[in-house]
Structure 1
Amino acid sequence: MPAVSAGADGKETRKAAAGFAAAPAISYRECKGCGRMNAVEALPEGSAARCDRCNTVLRNARRNPVNRTLAFALSALALFSVATFTPLLTMSISGQQITADLTTGSLQLDKQGFWVLGVLVGLTTILAPAARLATSCYVLMALRMTRPPMHLAPVFRWAARLKPWSMIEVYLLAIFVAYAKLVDMAQVEVGIAVIAFAGVMIAMIAADLALDPDVVWEAIDRRERAAALLPQDRPGKGAIGCECCGFVSTPAPGSHAAACPRCGSPLHRRKSDSIARAWALAIAAIVLYIPANLYPVMTVVSLGRGAPDTIMSGVIELAHAGMWPLALLVFFASITVPVLKLLALIYLLVTTQLGSAKHLRRRTVIYRLVEGIGRWSMIDIFMLSILVGLVRLGNLATIEPGIGAISFAGVVILTMFAAECFDPRLMWDAAEAAHPTRSPTKAPEQPSPGSAHTSSTA
């Protein structure tokens, strides 16, 4: 694998002077997909290092990752401020006009006694995105200071942890679904906040694509410590890769509460009680999924008479109105995704406990899909918060949340936690323990640690 010369075209020299030097010639990364320790050489810009065993991405080398990410993050933060304090939707009916902003839905859910949903919507659409953008901007700007503060590692760690719970893109789709439901019964105007939200989503995606977290962590090492943390020449027995920052270290023998020397996260060879916790959360989600589909998620009260809506009846209503794309979207996100996610989790758990060595790479990919798509099921909950905040005309028309919404929100959150608790490396461990005489992958056997392979991302 080609290594990047420290002085090629003068680029690396300038990065070093700015505090963002290139990665060492060789570093070691524990694969989060299969647990293999890989030797990763310095990468040219626009390439990625992948695990030879399971093909999981170990590192992406980006062009000018700090400055570009900071620019996108600052843009997203500015647009998010606009989206928070400007009208989202305005509804006019029978001479009455109601305007809703980002906070209206959460506040109305709380007023109607559904404070759990109000808190959940507020956390995922306001607090988590704002905190994630603010912490990212703070760290990237602080690293450009001559004498940055000494607490950047825990701040950047929180920025990474908030990513799954920042659901701007899901909320934006929920706005379109809510608009489709209201446009036939009233005059609805789209506010400037919707445009700002679209900008936030684009800027956050661009920031994620531009970011190379390893460059930031290496810069934090150099700025916060007199001597930078250097990767081990070759990981010894008992070496553990941090699940947050990826740094490989060897805890002291007999240590029961080891922490990563770089970011301070607890170190575990594997997630503790992974299988048991994932089973418990998946079973709880299955139990909640029954009332989530049987009970109404909302009731539309018009002239004193109510018409309850379940998840499925909402899909049918969109289909009858001729909005097939939105109907399919809601059906996929609210019905198909939770079912497939639960089935996939059960499949991964059962095959792991049986020590199956079949389709290990495919099962690793399935886990990554399960981990990434679960948040999209929040469309129905976000749509409900928008409708509750907008349709409040007393006896003329009101939308009230139903008990089915709480159950469905529980399903979404529990499946997200279940996916987070499951450790995909256990699949490979179990296969190796059950079949010690043969490799659990068709790839040729290599010495440990293995050498990651590179691929272009340009």
Structure 2
Amino acid sequence: MKTYSDLIVCNGCDTVYRRPSLARGETARCDECHATLHGAIRLDVDRWLALTVAAAIVYLIANVCPVIRIGLRSQHNEATLWQSAAALAHSAAAPIAVPIAMSVIVVPLLQIALLGWTLAYARAGRRAPGFATAMRLLVALGPWNMIEVALLGVLVSVVKLSGFMEVTPAIGLWAMAALMMLITLITQRDVRHLWDLDLIDSGTQA
């Protein structure tokens, strides 16, 4: 099958361009819809994978450890992200419990897992099984990651509740903040760079 590695297609309007040569930090944009076409590589595979592993560790901490600790008189309670989503499911806000759980818990997990999968193979010079599907999923999942919205919501809740009871940010909240930054770093890289790497197909014998 013939390939056209020197061409690039705009994700916004499907206009075809010849792939530009960019200096470090430069970005090419579509003349028609101004969507980002191509960006110069700022992270190599090793650094990209290292940040993805760090994001996986922080994700685990953010989901296992309590986000906030609430105290009223002699009673105290703690809540993790999972517990918060479950509490929403049993309240008047039940219809938004599933979208929140998807955007804050499930989508970041899928992004980290897919990137880790493809980058681990890329580091070994091979194309991961299901590479094309993984790339499409990563692009599709991008708009559904809302860690920053959840973090803002938690901070607003902390401020509001602090006027009525003792509210202490827990380790899960700091992990969420770190996860937000790491997720941004690893998912804002143009995954199309992975298509351009000279990788051996996993089904091909060395």
How many residues were matched structurally? 189
Residues 135-154 of structure 1 aligned to structure 2 (within 5 Å): none
**Aligned residues: percent identity?**
17
- After superposition, the Cα gap between the structure-2 partners of 1:246 and 1:37, relative to the gap in structure 1 and judged at 3 Å, is farther
Q: Which letter maps to 1:381?
A: L
Tell me what 1:244 maps to: 27
The Cα shift of 1:275 comes to 0.7
Tell me what 2:174 maps to: 406
The Cα shift of 1:360 comes to 5.2
Quick one: which of 136, 139, 144 aligns to 1:368?
139
The Cα shift of 1:336 comes to 0.9
Structure 1 position 343 matched with structure 2 position 126: no
Question: 1:337·1:377 contact (CA, 8 Å) conserved in 2?
Answer: no
Q: Which letter maps to 2:161?
A: V
- After superposition, the Cα gap between the structure-2 partners of 1:35 and 1:323, relative to the gap in structure 1 and judged at 3 Å, is farther
Tell me what 1:179 maps to: none
Question: 2:118·2:128 contact (CA, 8 Å) conserved in 1?
Answer: no
Tell me what 1:317 maps to: 87
- After superposition, the Cα gap between the structure-2 partners of 1:385 and 1:273, relative to the gap in structure 1 and judged at 3 Å, is closer
Quick one: which of 371, 375, 383 aligns to 2:153?
383
Tell me what 1:132 maps to: none
TM-score (norm 2): 0.73
Tell me what 1:37 maps to: 6
Tell me what 1:356 maps to: 127
Residue segments in structure 2 that go unaligned for 5+ positions in a row? 31-37, 202-206
The Cα shift of 1:346 comes to 1.2
- Matches of 1:299 and 1:383 in 2, distance apart? 15
The Cα shift of 1:58 comes to 6.7
- Matches of 1:246 and 1:318 in 2, distance apart? 41
TM-score (norm 1): 0.36
- After superposition, the Cα gap between the structure-2 partners of 1:60 and 1:391, relative to the gap in structure 1 and judged at 3 Å, is same
Question: 1:282·1:342 contact (CA, 8 Å) conserved in 2?
Answer: yes
3-state SS of 1:430 partner:
coil
Question: 2:53·2:116 contact (CA, 8 Å) conserved in 1?
Answer: no
3-state SS of 1:36 partner:
coil
3-state SS of 2:126 partner:
coil
The Cα shift of 1:307 comes to 1.1
Question: 1:367·1:424 contact (CA, 8 Å) conserved in 2?
Answer: no
- Matches of 2:160 and 2:92 in 1, distance apart? 23
- Matches of 2:128 and 2:81 in 1, distance apart? 38
Q: Which runs of 4+ in 1 moved over 6 A?
A: none
- Matches of 1:318 and 1:415 in 2, distance apart? 25
Structure 1 position 275 matched with structure 2 position 45: yes
Q: 1:283-308, CA deviations, whole angstroms, 9 ceiling, x for partnerless residues? A: 11122223212321112222353211
RMSD after superposition: 3.5
3-state SS of 1:301 partner:
strand
Quick one: which of 55, 64, 67 aligns to 1:294?
64
The Cα shift of 1:328 comes to 1.3
Question: 1:275·1:422 contact (CA, 8 Å) conserved in 2?
Answer: no
- Matches of 1:400 and 1:409 in 2, distance apart? 15
Question: 2:118·2:131 contact (CA, 8 Å) conserved in 1?
Answer: no
Question: 2:117·2:128 contact (CA, 8 Å) conserved in 1?
Answer: no
Q: 1:135-154, CA deviations, whole angstroms, 9 ceiling, x for partnerless residues? A: xxxxxxxxxxxxxxxxxxxx
The Cα shift of 1:387 comes to 1.0
3-state SS of 2:46 partner:
helix
- Matches of 2:59 and 2:82 in 1, distance apart? 13
Quick one: which of 179, 185, 204 aligns to 1:417?
185
Q: Which letter maps to 1:384?
A: V
Residue segments in structure 1 that go unaligned for 5+ positions in a row? 1-33, 39-49, 62-230, 248-266, 436-458
For the pair shown, the structure with the greater C-alpha radius of gyration is 1
Q: 1:306-340, CA deviations, whole angstroms, 9 ceiling, x for partnerless residues? A: 21111111122112225322221222122212211
Q: Which letter maps to 1:365?
A: R
Tell me what 2:197 maps to: 429
Q: 1:92-116, CA deviations, whole angstroms, 9 ceiling, x for partnerless residues? A: xxxxxxxxxxxxxxxxxxxxxxxxx
